[in-house]
Chains A and B, each alone.
Chain A
Amino acid sequence: MRPLTYERAGDAGAARAALAQHGRGARYLAGGTNLVDLMKLGVEAPTHLVDVRHLPYDRIDDTEDGGLRIGATVTNNALAADARVRESYPVLSQALLAGASGQLRNLATVGGNLLQRTRCAYFQDVTKPCNKRDPGTGCPAREGDHRNLAILGHSEACVATHPSDMAVALVALGATVHVLGDTGEREIAMPGLHRLPGDEPQRDTVLAPGELITAVQLPGLGRLGVRSHYRKVRDRASYAFAVVSIAAAVDVAADGTIADCRIAFGGLAHVPWRAEAAEARLRGAPATEASFAAAAAADAELAAARPLRDNGFKVPLARNLLVRTLVELSEGTEGAAR
């Protein structure tokens, strides 16, 4: 095992400088629920940890446009329990509570959740080849165990999915990620933080080395945010990663047509997947099961799905999930079944 040193950063500048100074073996540490796990598995072997949990990013502030600015070190439980989130963005609270466990969510942070690595079994097993962990060694999942892996946007090099539930809700809500890098602050609109694997599956996101996530901002969405819901299909009733999940929001106008809607899927791709084609088709359409079914069937993205040998079931599952969730949201019965 390689030796490891640890330091706690007091401000963002110090954190970034410490990471740069220690070079390629340095990592930011937040809750540690993914990084420490990967260190035990031998997937990560950092030589220096820069603890960012004490940076002054533990607040959730109101913004001028009626949205929220969520600090990167806010814990997953604190975010899920925030009254403003529960009221104005129920989909986010529900997505968080659908993930991991109460104990894990007390450690896990917003920044760490966004940057957690895939749960692909080969990635986590250092005795197996894996292009994401060890570029150029191959992808055993393509012919092996991929029941839970991608049907959209995958590449020859990697068919992994992004495991975060929170990120799916953030994509549906149109959140912006604030990061601090060499050239100062920049904002990345979700879903732009995560990237498709292409021929560089080792890169999960567009972040440059050392870039620090400082906050996630939610736009004020009014009624659309309030009428939002997260539903997760998993192999066990609780405490398991998603097979397929959906984050959806629908605002039905007084005349019964869809004023606006947002749809994002989890468990289908290397990124949380925004279903823009389905959204575009639904805007202005009557809020009926027939519209939702037509949008799901016609969704150009789902139509382009390229399932692997054992995960074709995800295509109808995603469609059914979309129809059911939108029907319930437009009828106001989404709380009925969890």
Chain B
Amino acid sequence: MTDVSEIPRTDLVLHVNGAGHRIRVDPRTTLLDVLREHLGLTGAKKGCDHGQCGACTVLLDGRRVNSCLALAVAHQDAEILTIEGLADGERLHPVQEAFLERDAYQCGYCTPGQICSAVGMLAEARAEGTELDADEIRERMSGNLCRCGAYVNIVDAIGDVAAGG
């Protein structure tokens, strides 16, 4: 066993939801664990911890990523946006609104990841100039699993935003 006091720790600064945070962690710590355990931001969920479910999805400089496979120490220069930072004060993000409107969840465990992923995905499609139909949305959202099977409403909710509704 390694004595915990011998584990090298690193000081790092992370920019999350517009605020800087200084923390001291083992360099092995993932961004997901930093968010949840050091910063108290428990919106991003730990589903599989292996990149397979998308529950941990956050936005790094606007791009969606799995925070469970990203080492926090490697992303100190990024603007990190989590579900907690998506709303503009009391005003929900359009994707959040659409999920409410369409009832796009049951237990809600996958929802923060679904919403962050959808925000990133919509930006990707916009940048490429790709029109999003239901099939295209399903394919592009395939990195987000929903154990409750709320897919039909999730796709509808994202479709509403894509169509500007």
Chain A residues packing against B (C-beta within 8 Å): 1-6, 8, 29, 31-33, 36-37, 39-40, 49, 51, 53, 77, 81, 100-104, 106-107, 238-239
Of chain B, the residue at the smallest CB distance from A83 is: B128
Write out the residue numbers on chain A whose beta carbons fall within 8 Å of the beta carbon of B65.
Answer: 103-104, 106-107
Write out the residue numbers on chain B whose beta carbons fall within 8 Å of the beta carbon of A2.
Answer: 2
Interface membership of B14, Cβ < 8 A: no
Q: Is the CB of A102 within 8 A of B74?
A: no
Q: Considering the chains assembled together, what is the distance between the CA atoms of A107 and B51 in angstroms?
A: 11
A–B complex contacts, Cβ < 8 Å, 27 sampled? A2-B2, A3-B2, A5-B27, A6-B73, A29-B74, A32-B70, A33-B51, A36-B70, A36-B71, A51-B74, A77-B63, A77-B124, A81-B128, A100-B143, A101-B54, A102-B64, A102-B141, A102-B143, A103-B51, A103-B117, A104-B51, A104-B66, A106-B60, A107-B66, A107-B70, A238-B138, A239-B143
**Of the 9-residue stretches B3-11, B16-24, B85-93, B96-104, which lies at the interface with chain A?**
B3-11
Q: Say how far B158's CB is from chain A's closest CB, in angstroms.
A: 12
Contact partner of A103 (CB less than 8 A), chosen from B28, B127, B143, is B143
Could you say which of A5, A36, A81 has the most chain B C-beta atoms within 10 Å of its C-beta? A36
Interface membership of B82, Cβ < 8 A: no
Of chain B, the residue at the smallest CB distance from A47 is: B8
Q: Say how far A187's CB is from chain B's closest CB, in angstroms.
A: 29
Contact partner of A107 (CB less than 8 A), chosen from B50, B69, B142, is B69
Chain B residues packing against A (C-beta within 8 Å): 2, 6-8, 10, 26-28, 30, 49-51, 54, 57, 60, 63-66, 69-71, 73-74, 117, 120-121, 124, 127-128, 138-144
Given A6-B71, A37-B69, A39-B28, verify A103-B49 contact (CB < 8 Å): no
Contacts A107-B69, A238-B142 supplied; 8 other A-B pairs, CB < 8 Å: A1-B2, A2-B2, A3-B2, A4-B8, A8-B74, A37-B51, A100-B143, A239-B142
Q: Considering the chains assembled together, what is the distance between the CA atoms of A101 and B144 in angstroms?
A: 8
Q: Is the CB of A3 within 8 A of B124?
A: no
Task: Count A-B contacts at CB 8 Å.
Answer: 95
Q: Is the CB of B26 within 8 A of A4?
A: yes
Q: Considering the chains assembled together, what is the distance between the CA atoms of A4 and B27 in angstroms?
A: 7
Given A32-B71, A40-B49, A239-B142, verify A103-B27 contact (CB < 8 Å): no
Write out the residue numbers on chain B whose beta carbons fall within 8 Å of the beta carbon of A107.
Answer: 65-66, 69-70
Of chain B, the residue at the smallest CB distance from A78 is: B63
Q: Considering the chains assembled together, what is the distance between the CA atoms of A31 and B7 in angstroms?
A: 24
Q: Considering the chains assembled together, what is the distance between the CA atoms of A33 and B54 in angstroms?
A: 13
Q: Is the CB of B2 within 8 A of A103?
A: no
Q: Is the CB of B49 within 8 A of A102?
A: no
Contact partner of B27 (CB less than 8 A), chosen from A6, A31, A81, is A6
Write out the residue numbers on chain B whose beta carbons fall within 8 Å of the beta carbon of A100.
Answer: 51, 143
Given A4-B27, A81-B127, verify A33-B142 contact (CB < 8 Å): no
Q: Say how far B86's CB is from chain A's closest CB, in angstroms.
A: 16
Contact partner of B64 (CB less than 8 A), chosen from A4, A32, A106, is A106
Q: Say how far B23's CB is from chain A's closest CB, in angstroms.
A: 14
Q: Considering the chains assembled together, what is the distance between the CA atoms of A8 and B124 in angstroms?
A: 28
Q: Is the CB of A6 within 8 A of B10?
A: yes
Q: Is the CB of B69 within 8 A of A104?
A: yes
Contact partner of B74 (CB less than 8 A), chosen from A1, A32, A238, is A32
Q: Say how far A22's CB is from chain B's closest CB, in angstroms.
A: 13
Write out the residue numbers on chain B whose beta carbons fall within 8 Å of the beta carbon of A31.
Answer: 69
Q: Say how far A116's CB is from chain B's closest CB, in angstroms.
A: 12
Q: Is the CB of B27 within 8 A of A33?
A: no
Write out the residue numbers on chain A whose beta carbons fall within 8 Å of the beta carbon of B74.
Answer: 6, 8, 29, 32, 51, 53
Write out the residue numbers on chain A whose beta carbons fall within 8 Å of the beta carbon of B73.
Answer: 6
